[in-house]
Chain A
């Protein structure tokens, strides 16, 4: 069965420093993986997706993620944090042969200090 584990429930960085949000997945086949961001009192917005093309995926707002099959990881990074990046981030995997069903990780709250 597919599953997703986000390794940190909370990450705090200073503005201008790099961001690393960690996600490991479990899947018996090549998965489709997504990162979503949720700002307070808002829905989820797609940051980027991996769908078996390039392993380094670029998303919106300067974020990118690298799919590493050998490590079953899909970590999200950004070179320089901005105050507006403070939000909750979710990693998700889709379920094979079950269409758009998404399995979400528990979420990582990102705080950005001035």
Chain B
């Protein structure tokens, strides 16, 4: 049972480069989200989606784009990477967007911007 799969696990970019972080889940979950984790700050929500074709901004959306063309996939795009985007990125999913349902997390993508 794969759960939430994130690729790549590690990535180094140069300032100004673009890339896409991939996230896929095989649990038929409607709700998916992206967080970034920085030391001493916990996890902060970047973007989220309540279903295919529907996305919305979280707490720290600037510099990131998302789309949700299928239930399974929720990629995160960095259009022009900046050193401030060096972080660990986590994708999560839950069955629906109901507040009492726990979220399932991937193992993260560790991204460094030089």
Contacts and interface: CB of A to CB of B under 8 A. Distances in A.
A106 B100 contact: no
B41 A46 contact: no
A100 B42 contact: no
Interface size classification for chain A: 20 to 34
B100 A107 contact: no
Contacts of A36: 105
Contacts of B33: 100-102
- Best-surrounded residue of A100, A102, A106 (most CB of chain B within 10 A): A100
B61 interface: no
Question: Which among B40, B90, B103 has the greatest number of chain A C-beta atoms within 10 A?
Answer: B103
A108 B106 CA distance: 20
Nearest to A99: B97
A94 B31 CA distance: 14
Interface string A4-28: 1000010000000000000000000
Contact of B105 (A9, A41, A43, A51): A43
B4 A43 contact: yes
Nearest to A95: B99
A32 B86 CA distance: 31
Contacts of B43: 44, 90, 102, 104
Nearest to B105: A43
B98 interface: yes
B101 interface: yes
Contact of A9 (B40, B97, B100, B104): B40
Interface string A75-114: 0000000000000001000111011111011110000000
B58 interface: yes
B39 to A, nearest CB: 9
A34 interface: yes
B97 A107 contact: no
11 contacts: A32-B100, A34-B102, A43-B90, A43-B106, A46-B103, A49-B100, A51-B100, A99-B50, A106-B40, A106-B41, A106-B42
The 5 A-B pairs at the shortest CB distance, nearest first, are namely A99-B97, A104-B42, A43-B105, A51-B100, A94-B99
